[in-house]
Structure 1
Amino acid sequence: MKKAFLILFLSFICVKTQGQKNPENQLGTWYMYNGSHKLSEKYALKTMAHFRYFEFASAFQQEIYRLGINYAFTPKTNITLGVSYASADTAYDTSSANLYESRFYEDLNLKSNWKKFTVKHRFRFEQRFIYKNLTKNQFQNWLRYSLNIRYPISKLWSAYLFNEIFLNLNSTKRFDQNWAGAGFLYTWNQNIQLKMGYFQIKSPTLLLNRMQLGIIIHTDFTKKK
């Protein structure tokens, strides 16, 4: 399994750029941190930081930070209320306006199991305050739906598939993006997981290819030392 993981990683890196420089010809990379920190039986703190590039480790695209409070109604149903901040370069390999966003978000998370499969649904509502070069202001409401399916391969490895739809409720054409991809999770220990995957971002005008490299950290402050 480790050899397959390495081959997949190297194959992503070796994808060649063709023709003129444009984002569709690049294999971009997202470097990701996600954290879940249990504070009590019902409450947890959710943290996130992503650094996204048009290329493997250059041509900055976006950085985004997220902080939220999660409340669990049951082991399979919970909500998260939070805030996030993002900054982005809106074009690849050309001069462009910098984009800054402050967001509020509300998540409804549902979990179910079917045999060995774990299925997660996430419904996210976002209120985005958008600034271009700190001069042009916009307010937008977004709705996102994410489906994630996970299957254990071994005690340490699991595979996942996901799809996420983005709708801009303030646009006459509501559909904005669709993310679809797959990857592997490796359980380093009870607190740390490593993630590697590949996905495509499809919009009405672009089709982008992206690799995911991430770390997921779980902590539990309710456990006595």
Structure 2
Amino acid sequence: MKYFFFFLLLFPFLVAAQQQKEVKSQLQTWVSLNSTFRVSDHWGFVGDLHIRRNNFVADNSFYFLRGGVGYWLNEQLSFITGYAHLWLAPSTPGYKTFADENRWYEQIAYSSKVGKVSLLNRFRSEQRWREILRNDMSTGDYSFSNRFRYLISIGIPLSANPFIPQITVANEVAVQFGKQVVNNTFDQFRAFAGIRQSMGRGWSYDFGYMFVSQQKASGYQYDYNHTIRLFFYYTWMRKHGKQEKEPALQYEDE
């Protein structure tokens, strides 16, 4: 009996020990091509392709395609809605089946300037249906969640020459809600620092380091992803002859 009471006294501490924060650190590479096609002053289309790899470039993480239609109230304020599909690689060693994710999204983006510094605020809402796999096979079921994201991005020019890189930093927070979301309402935090540079003829890129913290479904397990990020951007404007003085603030990321 005394051992029973001793166990009862220790039980809360044993549970607490099991629930201590567990962190898995990964090195990733993330490459994407993001395009914007402005067919009029107010209307346009967006489309992008993303590839992310684990263990630098050795292993699959995901493949991602997205498209959408946008309305630009002016050059500062835009509204975009569209569909995306993600192929998510299995995390269990030896498994080969990718999980599908279907996603609808809506976003509002507002860009402004403080002196020469460019600012972007973006709000995005996502409705996500992720395929449930069991023993490396599809169950035919999907889990649903809503995710809300807020991003702030800052561009700091170093020169009036558009071909001299800008300094760029960005932070994003994502929270999610749904029947299956019990312990990980806080989904992700992302922090990026790098350079953004124009390449001419509507092309630009950003390159740098991004840290991603993602809370897993258990609530106490986290992925810390140290990511080398290289994003290319292409913007096509119907108005010919208009030259951008600096690479536009872009906001097409997974």
Separation in structure 2 between the aligned mates of residue 176 and residue 121 of structure 1, nearest angstrom: 19
- For 2:128, the equivalent position in structure 1 comes to 128
- For 2:3, the equivalent position in structure 1 comes to none
The alignment status of 1:168 with 2:168, answered yes or no, reads no
- For 2:225, the equivalent position in structure 1 comes to 208
**Aligned-partner residue type, residue 152 of structure 1:** P
Residue identity (%): 22
Secondary structure, aligned partner of 1:67? strand
Match of 1:158 among 141, 153, 166: 166
Q: Is the 8 A contact 1:199 1:209 kept in 2?
A: yes
Q: Give the 5 Å matches for 1:139-150.
A: 139-150=144-155
Question: 1:47: Cα distance to partner?
Answer: 0.9
Separation in structure 1 between the aligned mates of residue 92 and residue 194 of structure 2, nearest angstrom: 26
The alignment status of 1:218 with 2:222, answered yes or no, reads no
Question: 1:98: Cα distance to partner?
Answer: 2.6
Question: 1:90: Cα distance to partner?
Answer: 3.7
Separation in structure 2 between the aligned mates of residue 71 and residue 182 of structure 1, nearest angstrom: 29
Q: Give the 5 Å matches for 1:82-161.
A: 82-91=82-91, 93-95=93-95, 98-133=98-133, 134-135=138-139, 136-154=141-159, 155=161, 156=163, 157-161=165-169
Question: 1:195 and 1:207, CA in 2 relative to 1: closer, same or farther beyond 3 A?
Answer: same
Gaps in structure 1 of 5+ consecutive residues: 1-21
Separation in structure 2 between the aligned mates of residue 153 and residue 56 of structure 1, nearest angstrom: 30
Separation in structure 1 between the aligned mates of residue 83 and residue 107 of structure 2, nearest angstrom: 11
Question: 1:92: Cα distance to partner?
Answer: 6.5
**Aligned-partner residue type, residue 163 of structure 1:** N
Q: Is the 8 A contact 1:34 1:216 kept in 2?
A: yes
Question: 1:159 and 1:94, CA in 2 relative to 1: closer, same or farther beyond 3 A?
Answer: farther
Which stretch of structure 1 is more off in the superposition, 92-101 or 59-68?
Answer: 92-101
- For 1:180, the equivalent position in structure 2 comes to 191
The alignment status of 1:42 with 2:42, answered yes or no, reads yes
- For 1:4, the equivalent position in structure 2 comes to none
Separation in structure 1 between the aligned mates of residue 195 and residue 98 of structure 2, nearest angstrom: 33
Question: 1:42 and 1:60, CA in 2 relative to 1: closer, same or farther beyond 3 A?
Answer: same
**Larger Rg computed on CA atoms:** 2
Q: Is the 8 A contact 1:23 1:92 kept in 2?
A: no
Let me know the Cα RMSD of the aligned residues: 1.9
Question: 1:78: Cα distance to partner?
Answer: 1.0
The alignment status of 1:195 with 2:206, answered yes or no, reads yes
Question: 1:95: Cα distance to partner?
Answer: 2.8
> Number of matched residues?
202
**Aligned-partner residue type, residue 213 of structure 1:** L
Secondary structure, aligned partner of 1:206? strand
Question: 1:207: Cα distance to partner?
Answer: 1.2
- For 2:51, the equivalent position in structure 1 comes to 51
- The one-character-per-residue Cα deviations of 1:39-62 (angstroms, maximum 9, x if unpaired) are 111011111100000133220100
Separation in structure 2 between the aligned mates of residue 219 and residue 93 of structure 1, nearest angstrom: 43
Q: Which runs of 4+ in 1 moved over 3 A?
A: none
Separation in structure 1 between the aligned mates of residue 203 and residue 73 of structure 2, nearest angstrom: 25
Question: 1:27: Cα distance to partner?
Answer: 2.2
Separation in structure 1 between the aligned mates of residue 176 and residue 83 of structure 2, nearest angstrom: 18
Question: 1:222: Cα distance to partner?
Answer: 4.0
Question: 1:99: Cα distance to partner?
Answer: 1.8
